[in-house]
């Protein structure tokens, strides 16, 4: 199944609601990787620390978070918002490694470190998007879809079909971030952006064609 079809199936099943977010969880640090809510991330677990983290997660909430790098809080740099995911499938190998699918369920803010050995664990708090759009939500959705349609090859029409099924701006922006935004810095910025108005404006800017190609 292609990643676009997996994401489409995810919406149809509506796997997770924010109902049992743990007060703490393990954190996997993956450079350049962001897990947005309502999207999926395949992972191969092989490092010893993350094998321990996976075992603990499977015993408890089946959840852990994905962050780009260990946070360093300063007065000008608050603790980051990261993606909390649930293990929806997991195949463990005889050699101790595992292949799994992690489904993003919620933005959370990392708080204090609980322990660093055998893996890093943080207390966390859920954070929600803020619907502060001035225009009606359906207008903003239409504008984003129009921009996306210009970026997708005709051969991948199923991607647009999946996006057009989404009627909630928060879900749509998360999917657009996961599918179209390749820059790690841009993805990190969009993860931190809770305002839907600001997130939509940033996506329009990131997805806009270069001036040279617009002429």
Per-residue pLDDT reduced to its tens digit, 86-98: 999 999 999 989 9
Q: Are 168 and 202 in the same domain? A: yes
Query: Which has more pLDDT, 28 or 209?
Result: 28
Q: Are 76 and 146 in the same domain? A: no
In a domain, 132, yes or no: no
**Domain total in the chain:** 2
Which long-range CB contacts under 8 A does 48-55 form with residues at least 24 apart? 48/118, 49/118, 49/119, 49/120, 50/119, 51/96, 51/97, 51/98, 52/118, 52/119, 53/26, 53/28, 53/118, 53/119, 53/121, 54/87, 54/90, 54/98, 54/100
Q: Are 46 and 121 in the same domain? A: yes
In a domain, 179, yes or no: yes
What are the φ and ψ backbone dihedral angles of 208, each rounded to 5 degrees?
-65, 140
The boundaries of the domain holding residue 193 are: 137-214
Q: Are 38 and 116 in the same domain? A: yes
The H or E element containing residue 110 is strand 98-115
Q: Are 59 and 164 in the same domain? A: no
**How do residues 129-145 score in pLDDT, each as one tens digit?**
999 999 999 999 999 99
DSSP state of 64: E
Band (pLDDT 50/70/90 cuts) for residue 212 is: very low
Q: Are 50 and 102 in the same domain? A: yes
Q: Are 31 and 68 in the same domain? A: yes
**How do residues 153-182 score in pLDDT, each as one tens digit?**
766 788 999 999 999 999 999 999 999 999
Band (pLDDT 50/70/90 cuts) for residue 25 is: very high
Angle at CA of residue 114, ends 96 and 105, nearest 5°? 70
């Amino acid at each position: 199944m292609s990643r676009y079809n997996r994401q489409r199936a995810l919406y149809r099943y509506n796997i997770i609601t924010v109902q049992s977010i743990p007060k703490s969880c393990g954190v996997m640090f993956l450079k350049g990787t962001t897990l947005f809510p309502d999207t999926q991330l395949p992972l191969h677990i092989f490092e010893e620390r993350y094998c321990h983290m996976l075992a603990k997660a499977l015993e408890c909430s089946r959840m852990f978070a994905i962050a780009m790098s260990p946070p360093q809080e300063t007065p000008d740099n608050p603790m980051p918002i990261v993606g909390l995911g649930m293990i929806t499938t997991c195949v463990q190998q005889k050699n101790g490694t595992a292949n799994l699918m992690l489904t993003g369920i919620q933005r959370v803010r990392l708080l204090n470190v609980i322990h660093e050995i055998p893996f890093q664990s943080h207390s966390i708090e859920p954070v929600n998007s803020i619907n502060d759009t001035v225009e009606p939500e359906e207008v903003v959705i239409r504008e984003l879809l129009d921009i996306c349609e210009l970026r997708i090859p005709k051969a991948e029409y199923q991607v647009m079909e999946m996006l057009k099924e989404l009627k909630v701006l928060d879900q749509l922006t998360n999917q657009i971030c996961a599918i179209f935004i390749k820059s790690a810095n841009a993805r990190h910025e969009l993860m931190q952006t809770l305002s839907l108005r600001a997130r939509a404006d940033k996506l329009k800017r990131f997805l806009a064609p270069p001036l040279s190609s617009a002429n």
